[in-house]
Structure formats: structure tokens, C-alpha cells
Amino acid sequence: MEYIKKNLEKIEQHLSHQNITLVGVTKTWPVSELEKFYALGYRDFGENKVQELLEKIPQLPKDIRWHFIGHLQRNKVKDVIDKVHLIHSLDSLRLAKEIEKEGRKKNCIVNALVQVNIAGEESKFGLQEQEVLSFLEEVSSYPHLKIKGLMTIPPNVKNPEENRSFFANLYNLYVDIAKKSIDNVDMSILSMGMSNDYTVAIEEGATMVRIGTGIFGSRKYSN
Ligand SMILES: *Cc1c(COP(=O)(O)O)cnc(C)c1O
């Protein structure tokens, strides 16, 4: 527990006074590690694989807010939508349609962030910046999908300063969309920043950061 506590104390110095939500990214870690994070008072947990998420949920307290942060396949939508607090990775209209369809069946409203491929990387999921507005206008008529904001995963760089302009661009997009007051679209969450670059992301306007390695240490296998 000690190292997790120490790591969190350091992170908290950057979050304090700013109302930023810390999502602890618990992917690949066993339930025993998640329990330590929970015992320190944290309730926002991020996972990126449906199967792993579904295995962990029943083993942990019910007041955890689960964040789904990985690419979500359409055939898995029905398995997670009534179990997660927020999907960070809404990355296509086809996925939005599936969420609306399954949300209607289960009679639940699904909260989601639109994932934006802000650096236009070939290898990344997410909408291109210029596609976001028309996407939002389309999904604003979906009663079972509630858009809460935007999310991005910027390039994996050594020096986080290299990502500053991407974070700033996403923030500008977030503010521009908020000004348009689209029905059923809320711009209240800007999810950006990971272990390596969260301080820069916060300086550029993040309201939610997703940190794994910086809390739990390096993962034994990639995920
Ligand atoms: C793994 C992951 C993180 C956390 O990454 P760290 O570098 O370990 O902090 C954040 N966001 C997403 C989408 C991830 O997949």
C-alpha cells in the first residue's frame, strides 16, 4: 500500500484546488491492487478490456465508478453499458448506434465521451477533429446516449511538451462545442493526460486524467 500512497500523494499535488477527477487505470492489475486504491478513498477505476472488467466488477465494492477506456467492439456493448459509469472511447457512429439500440432495450442512459484522434494518427481510434461536430449533431437525437465531453490519447512521446499543442487543440474544440449548446450534448468532461503527460494536460484544461503506471508501477504485460 505504501508505494501506491506515495505515488498518489505526488499526483494529488498537481490535482489539488482544481477539481480534477483522477481515474486510476487498473488494467492488468489484480483485484488486490485495486483494493488498495479503494482503501485510500478512490472510487474511479479505468479498464480497457471488457472481459477483464466483467471479471473484476463482482469482486469489488458496488460504489466504484467504472470507466471504460479501451476500444469497444459493438458486439460487447450489451455486456457493459449498464455496468459502467462512463465510456471514454465512443469512436464511431456505428458504435453510437449500437449503444442507442442496446440502451433502449435495457432502458438505461449511457454516458460517453467522444474519443478524438487529435494528432490524426493512422494507428489510433477516434474521430478526426473536423468530424466531431456533425457526429454530435447526429447523436444528439439518441435518447439513450448522453454525451458528456471529449477524450483523447495523444502520441506516445518521451517529452510531454510535444503533446501540449494537441491538448490545447482539444480544449479549444471542447470550448467551441460547448458554445453551440447542442441538445443532449454536455461539455463537462475533458479526459486527457496519462502518467507521462498529465501535468501538461491539466495546464491545458483537462478535467479528468487517466493514470495507471504513475499509481501502480509499470505493468508486467502490455494491454
Ligand atoms: C493504459 C491507459 C492509460 C494509462 O496509461 P499510463 O501510462 O499507465 O498512465 C490511460 N488511458 C488509456 C486509454 C489507456 O489505455
- Per-residue pLDDT tens digits for 43-60: 999 999 999 999 999 999
Least confident of 3-12, 89-98, 213-222: 213-222
pTM over 0.95: yes
The pLDDT assigned to 220 comes to 81
CA of 107 to the centre of ligand 1 (A): 31
Sign of torsion over alpha carbons 45, 49, 52, 54? positive
d(CA 118, CA 130): 10
Question: Residue 22: what are its φ and ψ, rounded to 5°?
Answer: -95, 120
Q: Is any ligand 1 atom within 6 A of the Cβ of residue 152?
A: no
What is the number of residues in the chain? 223
d(CA 214, CA 198): 10
223 band by pLDDT with thresholds 50, 70 and 90: low
Q: Is any ligand 1 atom within 6 A of the Cβ of residue 115?
A: no
Pull the grid cell for residue 38. 479503494
Radius of gyration in angstroms for the set of CA atoms belonging to the chain, rounded to a whole number? 17
Report whether pLDDT(222) > 70. no
Number of H helices, E strands in the chain: 9, 8
CA of 180 to the centre of ligand 1 (A): 30
Give the model confidence (pLDDT) of 141-197 as tens digits: 999 999 999 999 999 999 999 999 999 999 999 999 999 999 999 999 999 999 999
Parallel/antiparallel/unpaired status of strands 65-68 and 44-47? parallel
